[in-house]
Amino acid sequence: MNGSKANGSGAAAAAATPNNSNDATNSHPQGHWRNQVKAPPKDTRHRTEDVTATKGNEFEDYYLKRELLMGIFEMGFEKPSPIQEAAIPVALANRDILARAKNGTGKTGAFLIPLLERVDLKQNTASALILVPTRELALQTAQVCKKLARHIRGLEVMVTTGGTSLKDDIMRFYQPVHVLVGTPGRVMDLADKKVCNLQNCKMLVMDEADKLLSPEFTVVVEKLIGRHLPSDRQISLFSATFPVAVRGFRDRWLKKPYEINLMDELTLRGITQFYAFVEESKKVHCLNTLFSKLQINQSIIFCNSVNRVELLAQKITQLGYSCFYIHAKMPQAQRNRVFHDFRSGACRNLVSSDLFTRGIDIQAVNVVINFDFPKSSETYLHRVGRSGRFGHRGLAISLITYEDRFNLYRVEQELGTEIAPIPPNVEKSLYCE
Rounded to a whole number of angstroms, the minimum distance from the CB of residue 322 to ligand ADP is: 23
Q: Measured from the CB atom, is 43 or 341 closer to ligand ADP?
A: 43
How far CA 197 is from CA of 115, 126, 159, in Å, comes to: 18, 7, 15
Rounded to a whole number of angstroms, the minimum distance from the CB of residue 142 to ligand ADP is: 13
Q: Measured from the CB atom, is 76 or 243 closer to ligand ADP?
A: 76
DSSP symbols for 196-232? S--TT--EEEEETHHHHTSTTTHHHHHHHHHHHS-TT
Beta bridge pairs of residue 379: none
CA Rg, the chain, in Å? 22
Distance, in Å, from the CA atom of 338 to the CA atom of 387, rounded to the nearest integer, reads: 18
Rounded to a whole number of angstroms, the minimum distance from the CB of residue 80 to ligand ADP is: 5
Binding residues (CB under 6 A) for ligand ADP: these are: 75-78, 80-81, 84, 101, 103-109, 361, 363, 389-390
Phi and psi (nearest 5°) for 201?
-85, 95
Q: Measured from the CB atom, is 37 or 75 closer to ligand ADP?
A: 75
Q: Measured from the CB atom, is 177 or 360 closer to ligand ADP?
A: 360
Rounded to a whole number of angstroms, the minimum distance from the CB of residue 182 to ligand ADP is: 17
The sign of the CA dihedral 336, 204, 201, 16 is: positive
Phi and psi (nearest 5°) for 350?
-125, 125
Rounded to a whole number of angstroms, the minimum distance from the CB of residue 90 to ligand ADP is: 16
Q: Strand runs (DSSP E) across 17-163, as ranges?
A: 97-100, 128-131, 157-160
Q: Measured from the CB atom, is 88 or 287 closer to ligand ADP?
A: 88
Q: Measured from the CB atom, is 179 or 287 closer to ligand ADP?
A: 179
- CB 114 within 8 Å of CB 91: yes
Distance, in Å, from the CA atom of 286 to the CA atom of 268, rounded to the nearest integer, reads: 25
Three-state DSSP state, 394: strand
